[in-house]
Amino acid sequence: MSFEIRSFIKPLIQLEGVWKAAMAKALITGITGFAGSHLAEWILNNKKDVEVYGTYRLRSRMDHILHILNDIKTVECELKDSHSVDEMINAVKPDIIFHLAAQSFVPTSWNSPAETLLVNQIGQVNLFEAVLKYGLDCTIQIACSSEEYGHVYPNEVPITEDNPLRPLSPYAVSKVGQDFLGYQYFKSYGLKVIRTRTFNHTGPRRGEAFVTSNFAKQIAEIEKGRKAPILYVGNLQAKRDFTDVRDVVRAYWLAVERGIPGEVYNIASGTTYSIQEMLEKLLRLSPAKIKIQQDQSRMRPSDVEILLGDFDKFHRQTGWKPEIPFEQTLQDLLDYWRNRV
């Protein structure tokens, strides 16, 4: 396997009479969130010559990054506001951008479709325009999604990047828009955009609205006697391809270091479980006796039936493959909730 490695090493500069290499600046939009906080941690632990910057909003909860606040630089920024994004990009002048901030919960996108499109698509346009305005030569990874594939036929799995996109929610449409904007800004202006279509990912700090975290939290609450032993669920027939978030953020780094600008890559595990199977795995990790009950309000107007990704293109380009077994991810997630409820 051979791949080119993009170097972010900067020229030497003189600081107080001493020659030093200026550090490359990596900016993470959404650093206070789930993947953002894990990515910041990964860079701090593995890339000593990179400074980590991250955007937050006034109402962002900081608990995921409290332990690293002294090691990163945070900048307030509202992605929907072009002025705010412009000021932030001018202040940071990043060499690398990981664009992870988004309205990322599918059901919210039915309640707030316009807001979802605004944050995800216009937010990204504001970012791209600011990078162009200041003439920055930076590499930009954008977090697209397997939800873009949407309605997938049984003979189309495992899904490659060439599969038709048939989005089934406003969220999925917003991600198709982000994806194609990434392609278009690359073609029109040569912006070095690398698109990652990440399949479901989970692990400690996963927001409690998402299925793995929601079920794990309910189990932890039942174990502590804080909740009657009934676990509420939605559609258990859907199938998803889960990767550990810690494997995913390593993939994001490799995407900017070894990925080809303009290209799109699936990031997936290459295995799929029904939500029912995932639930059974979680239940096996608990001694509690739990009844399962369907909650109609958790059903969606249309749900993606199956996601199973082919990550061969990304593997060939970067050498990445997932390393953390799903059982370990679920154990860590359940322990995370046991320590919090």
Quickly tell me which residue has 């990322």 as its tokens.
104
Q: How far is the CB of 146 from ligand GDD (least distance, A)?
A: 4
First to last CA, the chain: 46
Q: How far is the CB of 95 from ligand GDD (least distance, A)?
A: 26
Q: How far is the CB of 312 from ligand GDD (least distance, A)?
A: 18
Nearer to ligand GDD, 6 or 107 (CB): 107
Q: How far is the CB of 183 from ligand GDD (least distance, A)?
A: 18
Answer yes or no: are the C-beta atoms of 305 and 237 closer than 8 Å: yes
Q: How far is the CB of 210 from ligand GDD (least distance, A)?
A: 4
Q: Which residue, 77, 82, 109, is CA-closest to 176?
A: 109
d(CA 310, CA 172): 19
Nearer to ligand GDD, 199 or 252 (CB): 199
Q: How far is the CB of 48 from ligand GDD (least distance, A)?
A: 31
Q: Which residue, 84, 20, 26, is CA-closest to 58?
A: 84
Nearer to ligand GDD, 239 or 250 (CB): 239
Nearer to ligand GDD, 25 or 64 (CB): 64
User: H helices within the chain, ranges in order?
Assistant: 34-46, 82-92, 106-111, 113-117, 123-133, 170-189, 211-223, 245-258, 275-284, 312-318, 326-338
Q: How far is the CB of 309 from ligand GDD (least distance, A)?
A: 9
Q: Which residue, 64, 5, 131, 83, is CA-closest to 74?
A: 64
What CA–CA distances, in Å, run from 331 to 211, 224, 252? Answer: 15, 17, 24
Nearer to ligand GDD, 233 or 255 (CB): 233
Q: Is 95 helix (H, G, I), strand (E, B) or coil?
A: coil
Q: Going by DSSP bridges, is the β-strand pair 239-240/273-274 parallel, antiparallel, or unpaired?
A: antiparallel
Q: How far is the CB of 141 from ligand GDD (least distance, A)?
A: 15
Nearer to ligand GDD, 136 or 275 (CB): 275
Quickly tell me which residue has 């980590």 as its tokens.
52
Nearer to ligand GDD, 223 or 241 (CB): 241
DSSP type of residue 11:
P
Nearer to ligand GDD, 129 or 303 (CB): 303
Contact footprint for ligand GDD (CB under 6 A): 104, 106, 145-147, 199-200, 209-211, 214, 233-236, 238, 240, 275, 298, 300, 303, 307
